[in-house]
Structure formats: C-alpha cells, structure tokens
Amino acid sequence: MRKKIVAGNWKMNLNLQEGVALATELKAALAEDKPNCDVVICTPFIHLAKVADIVAGTVIGLGAENCADKEKGAYTGEVSAAQVKSTGAQYVILGHSERRAYYGETASILKEKVNLALANGLKVIFCIGEVLEEREAGKQNEVVGAQLADSLFDLTEDQLSNIILAYEPVWAIGTGKTASAEQAEDMHAFIRGCIAGRFGDAAAENISILYGGSCKPGNAKEIFAKPDVDGGLIGGAALKCADFKGIIDAWK
Ligand code: 13P
C-alpha cells in the first residue's frame, strides 16, 4: 500500500523564532490528535537543525526545500544534500516550479540534485507541473511526461522507491485557483501510467503522488478522495497550524 502524505512547503516564509513556534504548535496538535497519514514539513535551511530537535521522535518528518547540484566545495551560498541530511532532515523538495522558473533549474541540473539527494539518504519530493499556456494549449501531459522522463527515468527501481511525486499545476500555485478534483485525478492517473511504462506496475502502484496548488482545508477532502491522489504538498496553508491540521484531517 502506498503512503498517504501531507507535506508542507514553507517557502521563504517565517523567521527562525516563528518557524520554531509553528513546529512546536504542530507537534502538540498532532500528539493530541494522531494523523491518519504521514506528515512532513519542509522548511528553509536555517530552520532545519532546530526543527529537527523539535520533531524528533514524533510523527512529523522534516525536509529541506532544495539542495545543491554539487557534492561539496567552493560554491558560496549553496547547501549540499549531505549538509541537509546532517541536520536530521529526511526529505528534500526538488524541481519546484519556482526553482525551475526563477533560478533556471533545468532537467539536467535536477538530475544531479536527485542523484546527490538519494546518494545521501534523503527521500525526494519531486515536483512537476505545467504552466497555464501549456494547459490552454492542451499540452499538459506532454510537458509533465517530459519532466518525469528527463530527470527521473535513468533511476533504478530501487532509487525510485525513495521518490515522492508532487503534481503542482503552476497556474494553481498561490493563486487561489485550485485544479478541480477531476483535473488532478486525470493528471495523477497519467503520471502513474508514465511510471508504469518505465518502471513497471508495482513501482507505479507504490509511488505516492501528491497534489499541490491552493490546497486548503475546504478542498482537500474532495481532491484526496480521488484514487490516484495520495495527499498534498501545501504552501500557504502550511504556515498556519490550524489550516495545515485541517488538511491533514482530510484523511480522516
Ligand atoms: P500554495 O499551496 O500556496 O498554492 O503552494 C503550493 C506549492 O507550491 C507547494 O509546493
């Protein structure tokens, strides 16, 4: 049975004290009312070590939002996969559309990042998704299929077992405009088909595919009810404990 997961992506929000406060509040909320799914929070690098101490021994997993495409050395300002791992984090988000669009992350850069993350024992939450013009031109499957193939299809089946996919239509991120549950399901089923085609039915059956893009407590239940949607990658609504918990509770 593949895992149900609700993961938060804090993006470039919250100072250290605010992040510590949010993680502490979430830990208390989930200790009181146990989740029915895996829960992960992905934070800016500066929060990782402190938040790792807060969530140690709880149901909450921890991830970074990025890592470098180089192993180590003279790359001022970068943070390596090994450094992320050393904080106690277990996950890293790679391929987010904001990184692709604003920081020029190409498929080949992402391939390097994925390899380094996996080699350092991190699980990768790999994001894929089309922009509005691509959807309007009916090219969403072509775009997402290529994103999968270009960065992930050289992995082994064993490596793939440490990948979680997140379908995030770019037009739905931070816009308040979520994909309909049917649009999400259509794409998730297509993605699972692509994985089956390359890695086989068992791998496709086992991989978790999350939906991301304006997911809120009010729409999560309908989206998560679809057979190929295994949870969510949550931006804005992950910044308030009650909202994030409301989405986690959509699995109840
Ligand atoms: P929002 O939930 O704010 O739309 O962001 C989604 C996202 O990009 C998560 O990675």
Mean pLDDT of 42-50: 98
Binning pLDDT at 50, 70 and 90, where does residue 1 land?
A: confident
Per-residue confidence (pLDDT) for residue 73, from 0 to 100: 98
CA atoms of 167 and 75, how far apart (whole Å): 30
Start-end of H helices in 137-200: 140-152, 157-160, 181-199
Question: Which run of H or E residues covers position 21?
Answer: helix 16-32
Ligand 1 in contact with 63 (CB < 6 A)?
Answer: no
Ligand 1 center–CA 174 separation, angstroms: 6
Residue with tokens 């559309």: 97
- Summarised one tens digit per residue, pLDDT across range 123-144 is 999 999 999 999 999 999 999 9
Q: For ligand 1, say whether the CB of 219 is within 6 Å of any of its atoms.
A: no
Q: Which pLDDT score, from 0 to 100, does residue 178 have?
A: 86
> pLDDT (tens digit, 9 = 90+) per residue, 62-121?
999 999 999 999 999 999 999 999 999 999 999 999 999 999 999 999 999 999 999 999
Helix (H) or strand (E) holding 153: none
CA-nearest residue for atom 7, ligand 1, is 235
Q: Is 234 in the pocket of ligand 1 (CB under 6 A)?
A: yes
The 10s digit of each residue's pLDDT in 155-179 is 999 999 999 999 999 999 988 888 9
Q: Enumerate the β-bridge partners of residue 211.
A: 167, 232
Give residues with Cβ within 8 angstroms of 98, minimum separation 6: 11, 173
Q: Which of 130, 134, 168, 185 is catalytic?
A: 168
What are the sequence ranges of the domains in the chain? 5-251
What pLDDT, on a 0 to 100 scale, did the predictor assign at position 177?
Answer: 84
Spatial separation of the C-alpha atoms in residues 39 and 62, rounded to whole Å = 9
Average pLDDT score over the chain: 97
Hey, what are 36's tokens? 């029915």
Is 193 exposed, middle or buried (CB count within 10 Å of its CB: 0-12, 13-18, 19+)?
middle
Closest CA to 233 of 139, 146, 124: 124
Residue 226 has pLDDT above 90, yes or no: yes
pLDDT of residue 176: 85
CA of 232 to the centre of ligand 1 (A): 9
Q: How far is the CA of 173 from the centre of ligand 1 (A)?
A: 5
Among 207, 180, 174, smallest CA distance to 5 is for 207
Ligand 1 contact via 213 beta carbon (within 6 Å): yes
Q: Any idea which fold 5-251 has? A: TIM Barrel (3.20.20)
Whole-angstrom distance, CA of residue 88 vs CA of residue 62? 8
User: Between vectors from CA 251 to CA 246 and to CA 252, what angle results, nearest 5°?
Assistant: 90
